[in-house]
Structure 1
């Protein structure tokens, strides 16, 4: 985007303001000004992002995530498919349907009556309820904890960016240009840290990703050195992909496969990026551009907090529910589901078949949801949209760097600033010509006027106000 001719020719030192930005629609071959995101997506570069699923008719693609939080669906929840675990329920429900049909047919067509007391249903149901509740609550706790860590990353990233941009000064001359470019580079490293952490949580080694390569390729890291030795990701065959779509465990690949097959050490890219950020903070402290001790401590503390986020999300990822619990809960659930036809046939007869299917959908479905959200950093529909979080952090940093650090005199000393609004619509310049006593009296008047408005909006019922009682007492005294 280019400023107007008057701005570019008459005053080369003037910074383009947001209100001065003009967007012209593109006509034919003329290209409109582009945002940073459109530079990547429409300017000949490809940015890594989730596949668009909401408008797709491909069912396999429709159940790929994470879900795009910016999309809105008007369908009621019980009719929605996007985000449902139904694909992973197809095979278990087919097994339950065949099993319940077999037992019902045997009981109806032969003299063998396959039934047990309904008391077993009650006892097992209580145990299954406890097991599934434990599994779901522990999985959701991991999900919310992962979201809290990414919220903390957003907070610390914004705070560190603001500290660098506002409080790190820029020297005169060529050194000032170097200072400005160094500040922008450091803030790009914050985005690179979030992006590298996302790929690390998804077991994606190396740096060859469209959303990260240009941000970290110039850094001397283990990941860059090992890039040529890392096996390239292979697309699954149709049978294997269909098995993964249905949730068949035998078709699922080891997510750490590429990491294990690397012939060189991969290091820890997010941690190495933090090392470079720490080195930058140390340099601006040494050269005096970040001279105030409070801001120095704030910058160093922010890097420590980013390290805490990295360790925290890795703890969530590397500490799943103990395998003994997972095995026991799965076995208990399937024993209960398989025992349903024996207990329901005597009362429901042929309705036992759909009854068992519905019961299995509820029980196994809740267990499947717990398994899906147990790792909140993956690519399931219900996992956290990490791409959206990284894009949001990058956009926030772009907003911070879009203008030089604001000076209070520029945005305060203007008549558009009405410090006494709504009591007065006079601007700052008008009030600056009055004394401090007049300004303080006006502030007190604002408070009294606010109380008067509140009393008029909420009159006391059945009793007189304090002012009325006081006035009545004065009248009687006279």
Structure 2
């Protein structure tokens, strides 16, 4: 405890405290940065290290929390699936279902009081087959894009881990004061991996600049077009009227803004920030190779991982910029609406007044499938059913922090450890115990290990560490002598 207490003042002096107003109280707390438009935050810890976007744990009934933003992977609901609303497309179906209900009520009233507007149900069968094919095609193509997007991001995660491991473990730190520069250079290179993932997330959401709270501190030292194109007017939040906000929740097209409007309003070239970050990362790898701190054999492996990140960025852009051709979308929408609005004419004959709820129920099913396809077509957005890119970036940040939390391990540090049971489960003896024996004894024990594993497998049991009486009784003499 004494050592920890002595270390705390030095740690606290690294990052100055900031005053944050909470309600009517003013508290002195470390700097807290909140990413606008998401439920993620980034914190500056008292030790001066950057905390990576921990997910918010608010439990409010605000519509922004419930109907907007990708779902958190860690959330768990105990409600049955059919009762859940978070992630449902029901809010977007309110207006269409009201229109369908009004239409079916009008047709039913006219048919009951004035003149029967009904057709043969054969039309229902024929059109139903066409609508089923259209919705099946729409859903399969939309989910394929969703799956491709997830596949791209898992590739990004894998290559980020590979490059971080290469940099941290295989880039050597030279002796003397230069070694400190090598250490900070390695951290700079690894931070650029995180910056690439976050900048790609913003690029896929048509946010091309570098002033966002989860990105600014990572790329502020880089000379990029995104930094040069920054305009203070971008910090002024856009005013959204209550009617427009409600219209966005209800999925009304007239209320939705053009997602590319930020790109269109740019006064300077915004460049391609993820690509520029890869250029700087490649320059770091090249510098490490030239100063002799990087093994030339691994130099090619790192360049291959860098190329894989470029491929991943291109695949994400392919998913984003090549949606289903507009002609298909228009025709499928027209077919669905035509079928739904023809339902009252076909259902009135056998159902009479039940035509109204019957039409609404059928429209709920058909329009729901169509709306889900529309929502999944762009898997990188901020809809509830989109990929949680913020959490994927958190996972990358956590992986990178895990890799850099300790010095690169030396071979002798863990091989000669007293808990290193090199022949487990055959023997619980440590590395030092076996090191005192001959090579012939070690190889003989390895042969016995094969026999024991085969016996354990044939008996249906799981091989465990030796030392119990039951395991010794089932072993051959060669194994017991070990």
* Alignment-derived partner of residue 93 in structure 1: 97
Choose from 172, 190, 208 the match for 1:187.
190
* Alignment-derived partner of residue 20 in structure 1: none
Shift of 1:438: 1.0
Q: Secondary structure at the match of 1:40?
A: strand
Q: Higher RCO, 1 or 2 (CA under 8 Å, sep at least 6)?
A: 1
Matched, 1:161 2:164: yes
Change (3 A) 1:64 1:83: same
Structure 1 Cα separation of the partners of residues 42 and 123 of structure 2: 64
**Contact 1:46 1:210 survives alignment (8 Å):** no
* Alignment-derived partner of residue 357 in structure 1: 360
TM-score by length of 1: 0.86
Shift of 1:50: 7.1
Shift of 1:205: 2.5
Shift of 1:444: 1.4
Shift of 1:181: 0.4
Q: Secondary structure at the match of 1:227?
A: coil
* Alignment-derived partner of residue 405 in structure 1: 408
Q: Secondary structure at the match of 2:104?
A: helix
Aligned positions, number? 432
**Where does 1:85-164 land on structure 2 (aligned, <5 Å)?**
85-110=89-114, 112-164=115-167
TM-score by length of 2: 0.85
Matched, 1:247 2:247: no
* Alignment-derived partner of residue 296 in structure 2: 293
Shift of 1:52: 5.7
Shift of 1:49: 7.5
Shift of 1:454: 2.7
* Alignment-derived partner of residue 221 in structure 1: 224
Say which is worse superposed, 229-238 or 361-370, in terms of deviation. Answer: 229-238
Which structure shows the bigger proportion of residues in strand conformation?
2
Structure 2 Cα separation of the partners of residues 38 and 246 of structure 1: 27
Matched, 1:445 2:448: yes
Say which is worse superposed, 433-442 or 336-345, in terms of deviation. Answer: 433-442
* Alignment-derived partner of residue 324 in structure 1: 327
**Contact 1:87 1:246 survives alignment (8 Å):** yes
List gaps (5 residues or longer) in structure 2.
9-26, 33-39, 462-482
* Alignment-derived partner of residue 476 in structure 2: none
Runs of 4+ in structure 1 off by over 3 angstroms are 1-8, 29-32, 41-53, 229-233
Change (3 A) 1:30 1:363: closer
**Where does 1:45-84 land on structure 2 (aligned, <5 Å)?**
55-84=59-88
- CA RMSD across the alignment: 2.6
Shift of 1:61: 3.2
Choose from 421, 424, 429 the match for 2:424.
421
| Structure 1 residues 2-47: Cα deviation after superposition (integer angstroms, max 9, x where no partner) | 9659999xxxxxxxxxxxxxxxxxxxx9999x9xx99716669997
Structure 1 Cα separation of the partners of residues 51 and 280 of structure 2: 26
| Structure 1 residues 78-136: Cα deviation after superposition (integer angstroms, max 9, x where no partner) | 000000001100000001100111111111122x1111111111110011011111111
**Contact 2:131 2:339 survives alignment (8 Å):** yes
**Contact 2:344 2:355 survives alignment (8 Å):** yes
Shift of 1:448: 1.0
Structure 2 Cα separation of the partners of residues 453 and 50 of structure 1: 46
| Structure 1 residues 298-340: Cα deviation after superposition (integer angstroms, max 9, x where no partner) | 1111111111111110111011111000000000000000011
List gaps (5 residues or longer) in structure 1.
9-28, 459-478
Structure 2 Cα separation of the partners of residues 265 and 60 of structure 1: 32
* Alignment-derived partner of residue 16 in structure 2: none
Shift of 1:57: 1.3
Structure 2 Cα separation of the partners of residues 364 and 42 of structure 1: 48
Change (3 A) 1:117 1:386: same
**Contact 2:42 2:52 survives alignment (8 Å):** no
* Alignment-derived partner of residue 372 in structure 2: 369
Structure 1 Cα separation of the partners of residues 234 and 72 of structure 2: 30
Structure 1 Cα separation of the partners of residues 433 and 323 of structure 2: 64
Choose from 284, 288, 291 the match for 2:288.
284
**Where does 1:461-472 land on structure 2 (aligned, <5 Å)?**
none
